[in-house]
Structure 1
Amino acid sequence: MASWSAERRAARQTSTSGWAALQPSLALGYRALAVLAPHLPAALGYRAGEVLGALLAQPWFPPYRAVLANLRVVMPEADRAHCQLVARRVLQGICLNYYDLFRWPHLSDGELRAAATAQGLEHVHGALARGRGVVVVAPHCGPYTIVFGALIRQFDTRALLVVERIADPQIHAAVNRMRRMPGIDVEPLGPQVGRAVLRALRRNQIVILGGDRAIGANNVVVRFFGRPTPLPSGPATLALRTGAPLVTGCVRRLPDRRAWACFDPPLAIDRSAPTPTAVRDVTQKIAYIMEAYIRRDPAQWLVAQRVWPDP
């Protein structure tokens, strides 16, 4: 424990000047990869992503430190070496996601169908049959931002993916262009997101939201991995106000590189409770479900921002 505390103090004291100096180069490299990656053989592209992720698993890299801090909460009994191994796999998973993001928009329909598999699709079909749209909420696991690009063909509707705004506006625009695959609309968090989400639900579409990290201002504090944690209240609020079914789920990357998604039955919601209480209760249910998914394989939880401050 003492060594962990010393490591945390050292990480906080480490200068981030090297990271700041590297960011323009990373942005340039990102743009170059967006052009080159679709032309790489898939085996080579995935291998390159794994190598890059391993190279970035260094104390000077802020996302690596953030992942380690999160894993200390998720895996409190793990020793430092195991946490470092899992953190490296998390960064590799993030790099593989970017490769998929570059590659998937260039795949044929047949290749897309082969790139993902799912279970529990009947729960989404049943929810759509109610005619109020569906709110899908999941942790940031596996290739979560692009899996619906392959699965949307299973449904007679469109999907709206709500995403975090990336600081670099050029990268933000490029990433969202690639996310807008056939049948998929993308809306960044901001002043217009509420209107876009309500419009999608009125059209009986699928709204996809992350629920494992507080990003905007609309949050509620619940228990997450045994700690009071602010998590987004948006999924619960939408389901309560619109009557849309709320479906939880998770995505994983299989050993053969395919994406695997699972969807749970619509969450039971007590709509008789006062709204603040109901929002908290529903968000807590979501938190417990996400926690169970993350515990199954923490290396697939691809959150590279700190979820909890240091104790």
Structure 2
Amino acid sequence: MIMYILYRIGLFLTLVLPKRVSYASASFLADIFYNSSPKDRGVVVSNLKTVFGSFADDKDINAIARGVFRNFAKYLVDFFRSGKIDKDYLARNVKVEGAHNIDDARAMGKGVIMLSAHIGNWELGAAVTSMLGYPINAVVLTHKNKRINDFFTSQRLMGNVKPIEMGSLKSCYKALRANELVALLGDRDFSKNGILMDFFGRKAMIPKGPATFSYRLGAPIVPVFLVREPDDTFKFFVEKPIICPSGLDEEVAVRELTVKCSAIIESCVKKYPAQWFVFRNIWNIDETESQRPDTII
């Protein structure tokens, strides 16, 4: 109940305050949380050290970690402001690159799997995709608190993004067979049914959903990310479709595809490390708590 009240307060404040003021306030609160939450700060620092290797400079890593908290706070502001996102906002604040790759993928007629990660602002990225004229569905986590769950659903629907609860395979198949887009995040496994593989040189459970859908339906995988620029505008970039290899059995093909997807995510994380919002140790595969948190992500 407390979290729901905080979300409603956040929604109210971000709607009545100018965006610039909301960003500044969010960054201020993020600094307080960064300084007062050694556990969360430690996890983020540890994750970043895995990304950059053991020889990374501690001062640089800590600066990036502080940026993670600040950028995540801004991500929340943007999510709360979903009702203010329209085509005029898109024209003024979002630079779009590579959207033709979505058209090329849809031309195959088998639906499109939009692969992203907890980088930048994936929620806004889905809304931008919709504003560009594409029918998009997003696989999302449900929240134990119904009010919170309804709140997040409402925010997503404002951007014409159709939520699909994680595990609703029939809904995913239906959307893909209708040649729609289905967005999934590929950097954290919440299903406990992922693939154990190298991720930044260490073993982690990686989601196999994107690759599995691609293998079974022939749908191409299109990597897409929306990242924040230094001036708080955004870049929305779409990469070339990844086609499922033919002539392989499912297990081999799914692993091969997942390796390709993970490599793309790794590259994006290294380029935008202060925008990778993972607050759990994803390499601790025995830590069941980290696999299904009731969080806003």
Q: With structure 2 as the length reference, what TM-score do the two structures score?
A: 0.89
Tell me the equivalent position of 1:217. Answer: 192
Query: Pairwise mapping of residues 13-32 of structure 1 onto structure 2 (< 5 A)?
Result: 25-32=2-9
The residue type paired with residue 175 of structure 1 is F
Structure 1 residues 136 and 223 mapped into 2: Cα distance closer, same or farther (>3 Å)?
A: same
Q: CA deviation at 1:182?
A: 4.3
Assess if the C-alpha contact under 8 Å between 2:214 and 2:221 holds in 1. Answer: yes
Q: Secondary structure at the match of 1:214?
A: coil
Tell me the equivalent position of 1:81. Answer: 59
Q: Secondary structure at the match of 1:81?
A: helix
Tell me the equivalent position of 1:3. Answer: none
Quick check: 1:227 aligned with 2:199?
no
Quick check: 1:280 aligned with 2:252?
no
Query: Pairwise mapping of residues 27-176 of structure 1 onto structure 2 (< 5 A)?
Result: 27-58=4-35, 60=37, 62-76=39-53, 77-155=55-133, 157-176=134-153
Q: Deviations over 1:253-282 (max 9, x none)?
A: 012212212111111421211110111111
Quick check: 1:183 aligned with 2:164?
no
Assess if the C-alpha contact under 8 Å between 2:34 and 2:69 holds in 1. Answer: yes
Q: CA deviation at 1:219?
A: 0.4
Q: Secondary structure at the match of 2:204?
A: strand
The residue type paired with residue 200 of structure 1 is A
Assess if the C-alpha contact under 8 Å between 2:72 and 2:275 holds in 1. Answer: no
The residue type paired with residue 53 of structure 1 is A
| CA RMSD, 1 decimal | 2.0
Aligned mate of 2:267, from 282, 288, 292:
292
Q: Secondary structure at the match of 2:122?
A: coil
Q: Secondary structure at the match of 1:58?
A: helix
CA distance in 2, matches of 1:182, 1:48: 24
Q: Secondary structure at the match of 1:57?
A: helix
Assess if the C-alpha contact under 8 Å between 2:125 and 2:225 holds in 1. Answer: no
CA distance in 2, matches of 1:228, 1:269: 24
Runs of 4+ in 1 over 6 A off after TM superposition: none
CA distance in 2, matches of 1:177, 1:240: 32
Q: Deviations over 1:282-310 (max 9, x none)?
A: 10111111111111121111112221129
Assess if the C-alpha contact under 8 Å between 1:209 and 1:235 holds in 2. Answer: yes
Q: Which runs of 5+ in 1 are unaligned?
A: 1-23
CA distance in 1, matches of 2:257, 2:179: 22
CA distance in 1, matches of 2:57, 2:27: 23
Q: CA deviation at 1:62?
A: 4.0
Q: CA deviation at 1:126?
A: 0.8
CA distance in 1, matches of 2:221, 2:251: 17
Q: Deviations over 1:169-208 (max 9, x none)?
A: 3222212210113431012314xx2111111111111111
Q: CA deviation at 1:25?
A: 4.8
Tell me the equivalent position of 1:6. Answer: none
Q: Deviations over 1:226-257 (max 9, x none)?
A: 11211000000000100111111322101221
The residue type paired with residue 135 of structure 2 is R
> Aligned residue pairs: how many?
285
Tell me the equivalent position of 1:18. Answer: none
The residue type paired with residue 70 of structure 2 is Q
Tell me the equivalent position of 1:9. Answer: none
Aligned mate of 1:260, from 203, 211, 235:
235
Q: With structure 1 as the length reference, what TM-score do the two structures score?
A: 0.85
Q: CA deviation at 1:122?
A: 0.7
CA distance in 1, matches of 2:35, 2:42: 8
Which stretch of the first structure deviates more once superposed, 290-299 or 259-268? 259-268
Of all paired residues, the percent bearing the same amino acid is 26
Tell me the equivalent position of 1:304. Answer: 279
Q: Which runs of 5+ in 2 are unaligned?
A: 286-297
Assess if the C-alpha contact under 8 Å between 1:54 and 1:89 holds in 2. Answer: no
Tell me the equivalent position of 1:207. Answer: 182
Q: Deviations over 1:67-97 (max 9, x none)?
A: 1221120122223332222111111111111
Query: Pairwise mapping of residues 1-20 of structure 1 onto structure 2 (< 5 A)?
Result: none
Structure 1 residues 202 and 147 mapped into 2: Cα distance closer, same or farther (>3 Å)?
A: same
CA distance in 1, matches of 2:85, 2:187: 30
